[in-house]
Amino acid sequence: MDFTSVFGDFTAMAPLIILLVGALLLPAVQFIGKRPTATWAVALLFTAVSLIVNMMMLTDGTSYTTLDMYTYVAFTGIMVLLFQVVLFLAILVSNSSVETTRLHVGAYYALLVGATTGMMFVAGSNDLLTIFVGVELTSISSYAMVSMKRKDPRAAEAGVKYVIIGGLSTALTIYGISMVYGLTGTTSLSAMSTLVLDMNWMMAVALVCMIAGYGFKIAAVPFHMWAPDVYEGASSPVSLFLATGSKKMGLSVFIQVFLVTFIAGSVLGAEATEGLQYLFAIIAALTMTVGNIVAIAQTNIKRMLAYSSVAQAGYILIIMAVASEYAVSAGLFHMFTHVFMKGGAFLVVGALICAGIGEKISDYRGLAKRSPFMAAAMMLFLFSLAGIPPLAGFTSKFFLFSSAIGGVDGVTSQWVWLAFIAILNSAISLYYYARVVKAMYVEKGSSDEKIVVPKAFTVAIAICVLFVIVLGVYPQLIFDYCELAAAAIF
Amino acid sequence: MFIEYTWLVPLIPMLCFLIIGLVGRKTPEKGGYIAIAGALLSFIIAALIAYEYLTGDAYPNPVTEQIAWFQIGDITLNLGYYVDGLTCMMMLFSSFISTLIFVYSIGYMGDQGPRKTRYYAEVSLFLTGMLGLIVSSNFLEMFIFWEVMGLCSYLLIGFWSFRHPEGDAASANAASAAKKAFLVTRLGDVCLMAGLFVLLGEFHSLHSLDYVTLFDPSSIAAADPEMLSLGMLLVFGGVIGKSAQFPLHDWLPDAMAGPTTVSSLIHAATMVKAGVYLTARAYPLFIQNADVMLFVGIIGGVTAFIAATMALNNMNIKKVLAYSTISQLGYMILALGAGGYLVALGMDMGGAEGSALVAAGVAGYTAGCFHMMNHAFFKALLFMCSGSVIHAVGTEDMREMGGLHKHMKITSITMLLGSLSIAGFPLFSGFWSKDLVLEIAMEAGSDGTVWFTVLWILAVITAFMTAFYMFRMWFMTFMGEEGHASQHCHGESPKTMTVPLMILSVFAVLSGFFIMFGLDAMVSFNVTDTAFIVGGGHSEGFYYFEELFTNPYTYLTIVLALLGIGIAYLMYVKKTVDPGRFNRNGESWLYKALSKRWWFPDMYNQISWKFGYGIAKGVNYVDRQVIDGTVNGLSGAVVGGGDAVSKMQTGHVQDYSSVILLGVAILSVAMVAIAMFFGGM
């Protein structure tokens, strides 16, 4: 289908425009109809339409450009697809969750959709300033969403913390961008990619400020400390949105800003980029290690998932160190599998909260008896996160780690040590995942009563289970597109 | 025409798993018959495949076929099957023994009600894992089935964790045993995975991980020998975990917490055999370095010895069997290591002398595989007999048994046959394979390195201990005075349990003779300049009689075995020798060491769980408190305010901000330093 006849010069932004219209309409729909379910349905509809349009554009394979500032290539398409899937899952369960606000339904959906629009805007931007605008759109919407939770004072606190830390990060980012602009005289990514290579101490500080600012988004160590508090305080659909969606936006920025520089650097044979790559390798190793080790000591399942999320971000950061085409496609694929496994785990937590089960791991005792489906799904998600075959998490980790070993594309790399740290980490991680499985399947619960969870949750979880299995045994389904996306950058 | 359908062998149990999982509760025996039918069907197909392959034209070249599964970079990963002599033997005995175990389960698990559905579904999946592992055509496919099996073992060992027949303490015990098994074997799996990555890197120019390409001598020659050795050592790490070798052997005795049928399945037909199988399967890569094989041999010999010592004074009937499994697995690994060592030396040396060494060494391969098969039969038998006893008396403690022979004659006699076989009584199956194992260790000692002579001595002592502890177990259970529990014995177990026992006992006695009828040719390992091929060797036939009975060392082991049986008789039936005299009534240092399993469990606890968890707690504390606190002092004033909201949860928002700023500062310094290091500035 030819979208240019409908969207004209703005075809590159078509999926984004559809969602933006939705975001603006939703408060009105709620105001007029006063029926949360109807608002929910409209939000879902817009998401679905946008998703379909994007899939058609992605499979079509044409690139579009709008006003020299937004480019739609395979990389944009795959990132946008990921954000849409996250949004779809988050909206799907929002109406049935007992945690979601009932006072500001219109605003809630509008913020959710608006935040996604921001992410999608980032994925196609080719200028530091437009990226900054997209990130801020997402951040500011997220601050509000985090505090919109019913009957829980922790939400307000989490919201305030998120705003303060977020504000600091924004300040660092814009400081970094201003320094880059001062040094190079441009904010266009393609123009600055070679100029950045002329490294001096000011440039180093500027880049580190940007790494810190966006590192906050992906919760990389040492910028990770807000994540457990916020994920714990926010409602489960919002935690899901932040852990699987917003984090990927940060990674997308890293790929767009830094990876492009690395590529330019390797073409010119500049040594400065290698220093940056080492910096990322150290951050990756720290992030996965701290995330996994601290996760062991957690007793609250949301906090445990938050730290495990930190660790997963560490795995994905490997691609910034390795910086090969294959690594990027593996990283993109891992981002996708992460959506389904981590998203699925948060969905199970959310569903169980609706059924009156707490957030402590000890509350999950005997779950296998009380709700076989939920327990089985949770087990699959956790084992997938731990990287046990034949689930999706294994396949994507296999791709990711083998890219660091360097055997796959025939180039031996210096990142073997990073791969070994990652493998060790994924062994450690099994310990805390197994603890939850043990609680569900092995320990005796206080009650044998069957649990009923809302239908929407069951559907969303079933979708995640399906993809966790399918992507495990047939990775080519998405991996082909990830390869295209990686090729679009290189 | 059947070989094309090799993929059905693992697929059928997989389908059974799905069917039982979905509708099993509505079928008679809650899915039990479906599981049996599936295993039996797999066995029949395996038999047809084996027949077709062994009589076909392709033999002894492996028959392999694959379809592309997915592609990463320029490497294609395939799904497929790989049939050679080793595959045939493994498929046959795994599916055959599993079928018998499933039949036995009908009787043994009969009173478990609706939970049987879960049981039968899980054992079917377990069998899928093993059969899939056996027929896999490449390392990645193998690894996936390897992990599936690990997962199932976790679920099955923890089967009793709700409402154990023996109460809550036993439930908790089952739960922690399951977790231990999972995590300890997983430690090995991590090594295996790392090993696969190394292989992937080393063989990247071949664009695949298929056995058929990797085992080609020309591709092996192209690889960097040092990296290959590293890769194989890591792969062997996986074997150590899965086959419960020293120092990761400790999970197996704990895994006894599962139902006895599961133990039987894990010990005889599946799971622990996977490690030995992998060593045999990857033999062409292992034998490239003599030092790697020496390491393999040492691990095997030490395991055989240490495990046997721990069985000497154990009072739990299942645990004695568990230690004997570890010990016997050690024998298999020792045989593979010793044989491989000679082959590696011979290939290095070349010439006529080298060929002679290679020819001597490949006997180790046959001995290891042969012992694996014999062990499968007699160990399945022994476990099922112990299950029958436990079923009848309701305890696992041998002190409460005794005098059971008159209550349960079939169990008693079949178990006696199994014990004679494992003890190496002449002409029983264990005798043949164990003596071949000892012979190859001896040979590696005389032609290779003195290390193997030491291992040979350990192995001979182990043979003596095996005979002693097996008969100690048999006498304590079936002979002597009736213990506390024996008085409540229900009598012989039902037919579904005793018939499999009788069938297996026939094999346990006679399977040793298979080697006279061509088994040695089927699992022989042939080294030529152009290929490493399993199968197609020359069968020695009845020459083994001559070879073993003209060897003076054979008589040494026979005498030692008889001596072990005799001492056990004097101690536990005649009571003329008081075991208390040797251990100062349980007060001696050695007795305590053995009861404490040489302190391995304590060591694990200290090192891994407590220490590891301590680190986690420590890092958590540092993450939350110390860094926060320190930074607070340094730069708390930078971001003021927020006090009112920050105290409720664990973290202080101003501290988080400080950490970020500190992080930026440190990273900037690091960045500048790195940039200067790389000369970019």
Give the tens place of pLDDT for each residue, A4-58.
Answer: 777 877 888 888 999 999 999 999 988 898 888 999 999 999 999 999 999 988 8
Best B151, B628, B632, B653 member to test A by mutation, with max A CBs in 10 Å, is B653
Q: Which residues of A touch B187 (CB under 8 A)?
A: 427
Residue B584 has a pLDDT of 61
Q: Which of residues 192-211 of A touch B (CB under 8 A)?
A: 197, 199-201, 204-205, 207-209, 211
Residues B568 and B657 grouped into a single domain: no
Residues B607 and B507 grouped into a single domain: no
Residues B459 and B553 grouped into a single domain: yes
Looking at B595, B612, B627, the residue that finishes a domain is B595
Residues B633 and B589 grouped into a single domain: no
CB contact under 8 A, A229 and B650: yes
pLDDT tops 50 at residue B681: no
Q: Which of residues 485-544 of B touch A (CB under 8 A)?
A: none
CB contact under 8 A, B73 and A409: yes
Distances in Å between the alpha carbon of A68 and those of A15, A190, B667? 18, 11, 33
CB contact under 8 A, B656 and A330: no
- Minimal C-alpha gap between B49 and chain A (Å): 27
Q: Which residues of B touch A438 (CB under 8 A)?
A: 158, 175, 178-179
Residue B266 has a pLDDT of 83
Q: Which residues of B touch A205 (CB under 8 A)?
A: 668, 671-672
User: Is position B35 within any domain?
Assistant: no
Residue A463 has a pLDDT of 94
Q: Which residues of B touch A416 (CB under 8 A)?
A: 201
Count residue pairs from A and B with Cβ separation < 8 A.
Answer: 226
B672 touches chain A (CB under 8 A): yes
Residues B552 and B492 grouped into a single domain: yes
Best B197, B234, B621, B659 member to test A by mutation, with max A CBs in 10 Å, is B197
CA-nearest residue to B186 within chain A is A427
| Domain that includes residue B625, residue range | 599-677
pTM for the model stands at 0.80
Does residue B533 sit in helix, strand or coil? strand
Q: Which of residues 309-338 of B touch A (CB under 8 A)?
A: none
Residues B645 and B606 grouped into a single domain: yes
Task: Provide the β-strand partners of residue A149.
Answer: A100
Option in A205, A271, A416 nearest B680 (CB): A271
- CA dihedral over A82, A86, A89, A91, signed as positive or negative: negative
B663 touches chain A (CB under 8 A): yes
How many whole angstroms separate alpha carbon A55 and alpha carbon A61? 10
CB contact under 8 A, A276 and B671: yes
CB contact under 8 A, A410 and B73: yes
State the pairing for strand pair B525-527/B75-83: unpaired
Q: Which residues of B touch A409 (CB under 8 A)?
A: 73-74, 204
User: Is position B71 within any domain?
Assistant: no
Best B156, B207, B621, B623 member to test A by mutation, with max A CBs in 10 Å, is B623
Residues B566 and B668 grouped into a single domain: no
User: Is position B146 within any domain?
Assistant: no
Residues B526 and B579 grouped into a single domain: yes
State the pairing for strand pair A64-66/A70-72: antiparallel
Residues B468 and B422 grouped into a single domain: yes
Residue B586 has a pLDDT of 62
- What are the tokens at A88? 């779809």
Best B128, B139, B191, B664 member to test A by mutation, with max A CBs in 10 Å, is B664
How many whole angstroms separate alpha carbon B430 and alpha carbon B530? 35
pLDDT (mean) for A119-141: 92
- If one compares A100 and A350, the residue with the highest pLDDT of the two is A350
**Are residues B303 and B274 in contact, defined by beta-carbon separation less than 8 angstroms?**
no
User: Is position B402 within any domain?
Assistant: yes
Confidence tier at B583 by pLDDT (50, 70, 90): low
Best B628, B674, B677 member to test A by mutation, with max A CBs in 10 Å, is B674
Option in B171, B197, B668 nearest A204 (CB): B668
CB contact under 8 A, A275 and B678: yes
CB contact under 8 A, A296 and B71: no
pLDDT (mean) for B163-184: 66
B622 touches chain A (CB under 8 A): no
Q: Quick one: three-class SS letters along chain A?
A: CCCHHHHHHHHHHHHHHHHHHHHHHHHHHHHHHCCHHHHHHHHHHHHHHHHHHHHHHHHHCCCEEECCCEEECHHHHHHHHHHHHHHHHHHHHHCCCCCECCCCHHHHHHHHHHHHHHHHHHHHECEHHHHHHHHHHHHHHHHHHHHCECCCHHHHHHHHHHHHHHHHHHHHHHHHHHHHHHHHCCCEHHHHHHHCCCCCHHHHHHHHHHHHHHHHHHCCCCCCCHHHHHHHHCCHHHHHHHHHHHHHHHHHHHHHHHHHHHHHHHHHCCCHHHHHHHHHHHHHHHHHHHHHHHHHCCCEHHHHHHHHHHHHHHHHHHHHHHCCHHHHHHHHHHHHHHHHHHHHHHHHHHHHHHCCCCCEHHHHCCHHHHCHHHHHHHHHHHHHHHCCCCCHHHHHHHHHHHHHHCCCCCCCCCCHHHHHHHHHHHHHHHHHHHHHHHHHHCCCCCCCCCCCCCHHHHHHHHHHHHHHHHHHHCCHHHHHHHHHHHHHHC
Q: Which residues of A touch B667 (CB under 8 A)?
A: 208, 211-212, 279, 283
Q: Which residues of B touch A153 (CB under 8 A)?
A: 648
Confidence tier at A253 by pLDDT (50, 70, 90): very high
Does residue B73 sit in helix, strand or coil? coil
Looking at B550, B569, B595, the residue that finishes a domain is B595
Best B72, B161, B186, B635 member to test A by mutation, with max A CBs in 10 Å, is B72
Residue B643 has a pLDDT of 39
Residue B624 has a pLDDT of 59
Residue B535 has a pLDDT of 77
Q: Which residues of A touch B627 (CB under 8 A)?
A: 222
pLDDT tops 90 at residue A339: yes
pLDDT (mean) for A253-282: 80
CB contact under 8 A, A271 and B679: yes
Q: What is the pLDDT of residues A283-315, one digit of tens each?
A: 999 999 888 888 888 888 998 999 999 999 999
**B578 burial level (CB within 10 Å; 0-12, 13-18, 19+):** exposed
pLDDT (mean) for B98-114: 82
- Minimal C-alpha gap between A205 and chain B (Å): 5
A290 touches chain B (CB under 8 A): yes
pLDDT (mean) for A58-67: 84
Residues B466 and B605 grouped into a single domain: no
Least-confidence region, from A305-309, B105-109, B582-586: B582-586
pLDDT tops 70 at residue A334: yes
Amino acid found at A297: A
Q: Which residues of A touch B233 (CB under 8 A)?
A: none
pLDDT tops 90 at residue B537: no
Residue B167 has a pLDDT of 54
B164 touches chain A (CB under 8 A): no
pLDDT tops 90 at residue A137: yes
Number of domains in chain B: 2
CB contact under 8 A, B649 and A444: no
Looking at B544, B576, B595, the residue that finishes a domain is B595
Residue A313 has a pLDDT of 93
Distances in Å between the alpha carbon of B416 and those of A4, A359, A455, B93, B283? 84, 54, 58, 22, 35
CB contact under 8 A, B649 and A229: yes
Rounded to the nearest integer, the mean pLDDT of chain A is 87
Confidence tier at B387 by pLDDT (50, 70, 90): confident
Residues B623 and B579 grouped into a single domain: no
Q: Which of residues 239-298 of B touch A (CB under 8 A)?
A: none
Best A442, A447, A490 member to test B by mutation, with max B CBs in 10 Å, is A442
pLDDT tops 70 at residue B169: no
Option in A225, A419, A475 nearest B651 (CB): A225
User: Is position B568 within any domain?
Assistant: yes
B174 touches chain A (CB under 8 A): yes
Confidence tier at B188 by pLDDT (50, 70, 90): confident
* Residue burial B111-138, b: 16+ Cβ < 10 Å; e: rest: ebeeebbbbbbbbbbbbbbbbbbbbbbb
- If one compares A117 and B613, the residue with the highest pLDDT of the two is A117
Least-confidence region, from A73-87, A147-161, B415-429, B449-463: A147-161
- Minimal C-alpha gap between A325 and chain B (Å): 9
CB contact under 8 A, A442 and B158: yes
Least-confidence region, from A277-291, A373-387, A412-426, B33-47: A412-426
CB contact under 8 A, A161 and B672: no
Least-confidence region, from A58-62, B38-42, B190-194, B605-609: B605-609
Residues B345 and B463 grouped into a single domain: yes
Residue B504 has a pLDDT of 86
User: Is position B360 within any domain?
Assistant: yes
Option in A388, A399, A419 nearest B72 (CB): A399
CB contact under 8 A, A201 and B679: no
